[in-house]
Structure 1
């Protein structure tokens, strides 16, 4: 088997694995409501496979440096969510989504100009989430209509994630760890949710899903920190596992807190 054919087949296998991952997560999110859906959406559904396959092709130093670039991109994603949530209250999908994407691209373009340290990335996230979480709080509680899945919904999400994985893996040697880390965090899941849900259930309910994702996205940023430190200290495999565990633990904690709050509200004073 030629090297080119081997690369293509291995790339297709990676894309298929990533697509299977996002299909499973999408079905869980759709059947669980906006709060659980938001928590599932902030798991490393697209970034996880991208980093796992990068770790196969590159050493721990590459992954650690990529994580440093990914950390401030997480701040760009929460600003993208804020722009969409605010605009979606009164505007259609095209205006809301295009504006949100433009903000993400603009911030990501600035991020790529710098070599980020861990402290700088943490500061960017603290500032971004300190601004955005209070502003998003008022948009979280919206009655959600029933959503009927269309045949192309899950395949479209799977195709987007598979394409992202293909871009990250096939260009990583050329663009280096910094750009790879930025591309790996392109908000595929949020983008697909906006494009699919907005025309179907309207802007405010779709915005509510993204608004509920703010705390989960904060935990995702913490998982990137764990990834960087874990890869530096223990190597790529352990670092990736620790990052996934941190993200899952954070989201389960948010879920438990939410359940406790609901029970208290039902019991009354």
Structure 2
């Protein structure tokens, strides 16, 4: 088998595996409401596989360096969410999601201009969450209407995430760890959910999913922050496992806290 064919087959397999993760998570989101859906959507079901595949092709130092850029990109995603939440109340999906994407790419380009340290990335997240969480808080509660699926839903989600993973893996050697860290954290799960849900159920309930995702993104940011600390010392496999465990434990804690609040009422 030629090296080109082997690369193509491997890339296709990677894209298919990641697409399966995202499709499964998005279906759970639609059936469980905005709170549980947001917790599922903020698990590393898109960035996680991208980083795993990067770890297969690159060493631990590459992963650690990429994570230093991914960390401020997590803060950028909070502004993506804030933009969408405020526009979705009065505008269609093209305007609200399109503007949010422009904000994300604009801020991502700004992030790319700097060399980031772990402390700098943490400070960027602290500022983003300090601004965005209070502003999104009043949009977290909305009734989730019954969703009727259309034939193209799964194809759309698969195409979005497969394109992202294929781009990250293919370009990683060219754009380096910083560029890979940026692309790996593009919010493809939220993009696919918003793109599908908004036209069917309206802006308010769809915005509630995004608004509830803020606290989950905080845990995701903490998980990303563990990578520069653990990857050089313990290797990529252990570092990525620690990051995944951090996300899962954080979101389970948020779920348990929410259940306690409901019982206390």
TM-score of the two chains, using structure 2 as the length reference? 0.98
1:153 shift after superposition: 1.5
Q: In 1, distance between residues paired with 2:19 and 2:98?
A: 25
Counterpart mapping for 1:1-269 below 5 A: 1-265=1-265
1:79 shift after superposition: 0.4
Which segments of 5 or more consecutive residues in structure 2 lack a partner in the other structure?
none
**Structure 1, residues 191-239: CA drift from partner, whole Å, max 9, x if none?**
1111111111111110011001100011110010112212122110000
Q: In 2, distance between residues paired with 1:162 and 1:99?
A: 23
**Structure 1, residues 140-184: CA drift from partner, whole Å, max 9, x if none?**
111221112222212211221111111011110111000000000
1:135 shift after superposition: 0.5
Q: In 1, distance between residues paired with 2:158 and 2:226?
A: 27
For 2:33, what is the secondary structure of its paired residue? helix
For 2:147, what is the secondary structure of its paired residue? coil
CA contact (8 A) 1:19 1:162 kept: yes
Which segments of 5 or more consecutive residues in structure 1 lack a partner in the other structure?
none
CA contact (8 A) 1:219 1:251 kept: yes
How many aligned residue pairs are there? 265
1:99 shift after superposition: 1.1
Q: In 1, distance between residues paired with 2:185 and 2:209?
A: 19
For 2:255, what is the secondary structure of its paired residue? helix
Q: In 2, distance between residues paired with 1:168 and 1:214?
A: 25
Q: In 1, distance between residues paired with 2:58 and 2:233?
A: 16
CA contact (8 A) 1:23 1:155 kept: no
Alpha-carbon RMSD across the aligned residues, in angstroms, is 0.9
Moved more, 198-207 or 22-31: 22-31
TM-score of the two chains, using structure 1 as the length reference? 0.97
**Structure 1, residues 225-255: CA drift from partner, whole Å, max 9, x if none?**
1122121221100000000000000000000
CA contact (8 A) 2:34 2:142 kept: no
CA contact (8 A) 1:26 1:154 kept: no
For 1:138, what is the secondary structure of its paired residue? helix
Q: In 2, distance between residues paired with 1:25 and 1:195?
A: 15
1:123 shift after superposition: 0.1
CA contact (8 A) 2:71 2:125 kept: yes
Moved more, 227-236 or 70-79: 227-236
